Structure 1
Amino acid sequence: MKQCWLDIRAANGLKSALCQEAIHRGFDAIVAADPADLAGLPPTVTRVLLPGRDSPELPDGFGDADLVVVDPAVHGEPAHLAQRHPGTRFGGYVEVTDADTLAAACASVVRDPCTVLRFTDPTNIPLEIVLAAAADAHGLIITAVERADEAPVHLGVLEHGPDGLMLAPGAPGEAGRLKDAVERRSPDLELTELTVTAVTHAGMGERACIDTCTYLAKDEGILVGSRSRGLVLCVSETHPLPYMPTRPFRVNAGAIMSYTLADAEHTRYLSELRAGGIVLAVGADGRTRPAVVGRVKIETRPLLSIDAVAETGERVNVIVQDDWHVRILGPGGAVLNSTALRPGDRILGHLPQRDRHVGYPIDELCYEQ
């Protein structure tokens, strides 16, 4: 789990309120420039003293600080300070503004047990370089963010990002938004086996191919259905075809009015998806992850209607392109050609427990047939 650090050095009169929020939300550390601001904080948070660059002399005492983070260019190397202050943990702080400070950051993440970094330019390349330099190191890397909505970007750099993020909130509530962003996970879904009851040619209509901005796995696709309470797992085009190359980013999903999941709770019609939006990629074992939509291709094609039923009696329908290369996942990740399906065949699906209104789960009378 990535760490969340609260920076109260410039919080002035909000320090107490921000600390209470951070403690309540389970922040990992609170960062202050004055040892007095760390007094009385509970042991559930790491108390971090981070003197400013305008204070070349460290305070005479560190108070209740569990960790002292210093700017090596101003205060000296953390390892040397640790020798002068036995029993005190030291880390490094580097503000990356140019090639020299980038080199200092790379040296710190390799050498020091903890490094706090701030990047001044609007590019992720310096962070990529620092993370690459730290690939075989074991120190903690924390990067400062200006806003909570920057969290996904930082955490996605080189796929894994730093070990944690530090935020200096301007108002109560911002710390909570950072925590939400850091903890956001895509939950597993419960998939169920469905029994095919009918496969019929449905005539012409518009179907949507969902092209994502990611490589989809061979047992991964998206859930699609004609009814919001019954969805079928349509597989990605990662499996070879005799007449065309694979499209590992694509799911030939279904008729445009079909539902799919934008996340574990909210549905979208296939016709509503747009470039830059999100669709939920789902594996045959129920694992999920958000996938960015790069393009939606809507074209007129022959359609095939597939009816199925769950053991609970829930009826499910999906309408897909009437072509052999459109595939659905079965138990164990079996790849099934849709036009080869017959009554009695088993396919994988998901049964949401609530109906939908404009994509949101609701509790009201709703028939879909």
Structure 2
Amino acid sequence: MKEFWYWVEEYDRGLIASAIEAGARAIVLNDQGKEEEVKKLGKVSILRQGIDFEYVLIKGKEDEEMAAKYPPNVKVVVETTDWTIIPLENLIAQREELYAVVKNEEEAKTAIKILEKGVKGIVLKSKDINTIKKVGKVLEEEEENLPFVVVRISKILPLGLGDRVCVDTTSILSRGEGMLVGNSSGGMFLVHAETEENPYVASRPFRVNAGAVHMYIRTPNNKTKYLCELKAGDEVMVYDHKGRGRVVYVGRAKVERRPMLLVEGRWENKKVSAVLQNAETIRLTKPDGNPISVAELKEGDEVLGYVEEAGRHFGIKVEETIIEK
């Protein structure tokens, strides 16, 4: 998830409070002596130009070259005088720790999407409360788009008892949304959120009963974790049936022993498999976004999945030969 900083020259309680409420994680404050006042408004970092980051106003090629020369671990904030994306494109290709000053939500949208990678974070300079809120929403709704595939179910095998993980988030999920999990990082199913009610169980739209503890779950920045590693405060990705992803936060990861089910399917020559709890409330996702319970699932059914070349090292995608069965 992209970082959100708010830059204010002089202390203004209302503006800073609005920025924190909109999701800003850091306040750039040049007004000396107001740090304690800011800390009273919320838990947020207070950053100083020249101490916590370097600032470069880009007026021409020389300024762009200067911004590129800072050591790789130095955070560099750049501001363009006429908001052209060319300097940002050039710098994004050279630096990881790059932040862009923006003045509105449109500039924020552009900065986080340039070259598909975008800057590491945006730094908002605005005294308009509505703009602060809009920019916060842009970052909250920052999307990752994945090319989902239609997986045809080929095997359903009841297993014995196993430990499974319910991922309770701090967000309300909608019909058609879920999390990507799988026995392999190279093939994952979209496991649907518990948005559906039935005569026996109320809906839990904040929850995805994600499956066995050993499985991979997709997290931000094209990374994965084992389900057993999840804990309160972790970031995980939620996707809708069109492949649009957003970041949500884990409120609780609950491990319980339950009867399990091996589900396998194929897309072209790729196998997708997962071990899920054997219960009516556990659902995969049809191509149209509707959930289908694993209790009703049968060979030949089509559900949504995601495939890539397998190979992860500590959750990071790597280029190497790995065989997972």
User: Which TM class, normalised by the smaller chain length?
Assistant: 0.5 to 0.7
Q: Secondary structure, in 3 states, of the residue corresponding to 1:331?
A: coil
Given the alignment, which residue of 16, 21, 28 partners 1:145?
28
State the Cα deviation string for residues 110-133 of structure 1 (Å, max 9, x = none).
Answer: xxxxxxx5x4xxxx36876xx9xx
Alpha-carbon shift at residue 168 of structure 1 (Å):
3.1
The CA RMSD over aligned residues, in Å, is 3.2
Given the alignment, which residue of 349, 361, 365 partners 2:317?
361
**Greater fraction helix:** 1
> Under a length normalisation based on structure 1, what TM-score does the superposition of the two structures give?
0.57
1:283 corresponds to 2:240: yes
Alpha-carbon shift at residue 264 of structure 1 (Å):
4.5
The CA distance in 2 between the partners of 1:242 and 1:347, in whole Å, is: 25
Q: Identity percentage over the alignment?
A: 29
> Under a length normalisation based on structure 2, what TM-score does the superposition of the two structures give?
0.64
Contact 1:264/1:280, CA 8 A, preserved across alignment = no
Q: Is the alpha carbon distance of 1:274 and 1:4 closer, same or farther for their aligned partners in structure 2, counting shifts above 3 Å?
A: closer
Alpha-carbon shift at residue 145 of structure 1 (Å):
2.3
Residue pairs, 1:1-369, within 5 angstroms: 95-96=11-12, 102=14, 119=16, 124=17, 145-146=28-29, 168-170=49-51, 171-172=53-54, 173-176=74-77, 177=97, 178-179=99-100, 180-182=120-122, 185-311=142-268, 313-369=269-325
Contact 2:179/2:191, CA 8 A, preserved across alignment = yes
Contact 1:167/1:175, CA 8 A, preserved across alignment = no
The CA distance in 2 between the partners of 1:126 and 1:204, in whole Å, is: 48
Contact 1:276/1:293, CA 8 A, preserved across alignment = yes
Q: Which has the higher contact order (CA 8 A, sep 6+)?
A: 2
The CA distance in 2 between the partners of 1:197 and 1:236, in whole Å, is: 23
Q: Is the alpha carbon distance of 1:3 and 1:323 closer, same or farther for their aligned partners in structure 2, counting shifts above 3 Å?
A: closer
Alpha-carbon shift at residue 279 of structure 1 (Å):
0.8
Alpha-carbon shift at residue 2 of structure 1 (Å):
11
Alpha-carbon shift at residue 167 of structure 1 (Å):
7.0
Q: Is the alpha carbon distance of 1:255 and 1:126 closer, same or farther for their aligned partners in structure 2, counting shifts above 3 Å?
A: closer
The CA distance in 2 between the partners of 1:332 and 1:169, in whole Å, is: 52
Q: Secondary structure, in 3 states, of the residue corresponding to 1:333?
A: coil
Q: Secondary structure, in 3 states, of the residue corresponding to 2:321?
A: coil
The CA distance in 1 between the partners of 2:48 and 2:174, in whole Å, is: 35
Alpha-carbon shift at residue 354 of structure 1 (Å):
4.0
Contact 2:264/2:274, CA 8 A, preserved across alignment = yes
The CA distance in 2 between the partners of 1:188 and 1:239, in whole Å, is: 25
- Length, aligned pairs only: 232
Which stretches in structure 2 are left out of the alignment for 5+ residues?
31-37, 42-46, 55-73, 78-96, 101-119, 124-138
